[in-house]
Structures are given as structure tokens and as C-alpha cells.
Amino acid sequence: MSIQWSSLFQFSMSPVEIIVRGTVVYWFIFALLRVAGRRDLGSFGMANILLLVLIADAAQNAMAGDYKSIADGMVLITTLVSWSLAVDQLCYYVPAVRPWFEPDRICLVKNGMLQRRGMRREHITEPELMAALRLKDVESLSDVRRAYMESDGDISVLRRKSRPDP
């Protein structure tokens, strides 16, 4: 089996077509995501990651020419974003379906005590939890009334009320 060195550096399509495809798909996805909006600024839930992976695959096919036209990729990307928006709206307007699409929060600390069951369920170790609490400016577990793993993977902390110094 010999390597065809010359074929490694030959274009399979015109460089101009590659530039046009990449440009059109980039600006299409940019505009579509701007119109679609973002519900969670700075956090990615499982559904967001899934959407990004699927968009990346669809966009790659549109840019690389696996589809016959850029429009094929644009239709697929629009379909994926539309389904994501539809699920978000469904969860907003019909709260009864939320448990099917969004995981419940899990209690990790209750009244300063580690909740090992919740930690096991989320596969979070004590050092990982303590690091997350330090990022929330919590020095000790005794300062925590409740700490939860939220549906987007972030840890929220409800502090105990501090007593004023006499």
C-alpha cells in the first residue's frame, strides 16, 4: 500500500467554493442563533451540548460539500434549532413536561452535612464539591444551609444566615 503524496495536497473542490460555503454557513448559524436567543447565559446543559454537536455535524457537511447544496445544510440546521426552541417553549408553557426534558436538582449539602446519596448519583467527590463551594466563596460546610446540583450542572448554594457580632 503506497501513499499517493500528491493526492494529499490536492483540492477535492475549488478553494473559492470552500470559502463561500464556510462563509455562508458561518453567517447563517450566527444569525440563526442570535434570533433564537439564549436562555442560559454562561451555562450549557445537556440539551445545549447536544444541539451544538448536531449543528457542528450538519454545518461540516454543508461546508465540506457532502450535501449537494449549502441550502441542504441550512435546512437541517434550522430544523435542529427549531426543535430546541420548541422543547424550551413546551417546558415553559407546560410545566408538567419539564421532568421529561430537564433533570431535577440534586441536594448535595443539607444543613452543613454532605448528602452522600446525591453525591453518588452525580458522581461528585468531596474534593470536587469543596472546590465548587470555594468558587462560591464558601469556606466551610457549616456555612451552607443547602447546596444543589442544578439541571445545567452548576452548583447553587444557599448560605446559613450569619449572626451579627455583638
Q: Could you tell me the domains of the chain?
A: 5-99 (no CATH), 106-159 (3.30.240.20)
Sequence-distant (≥ 6) Cβ neighbours of residue 115 within 8 angstroms = 107, 108, 109
Q: How many CB atoms lie within 10 A of CB 37?
A: 8
pLDDT in tens, 8-52: 777 777 878 878 887 888 788 877 776 765 554 445 666 677 777
Residues 83 and 62: their CA atoms lie apart, in Å, by 19
Q: What are phi and psi of 43, to 5 degrees?
A: -135, 150
pTM score of the predicted model? 0.59
pLDDT in tens, 89-142: 898 999 998 888 777 889 999 999 999 999 998 899 999 999 999 999 998 999
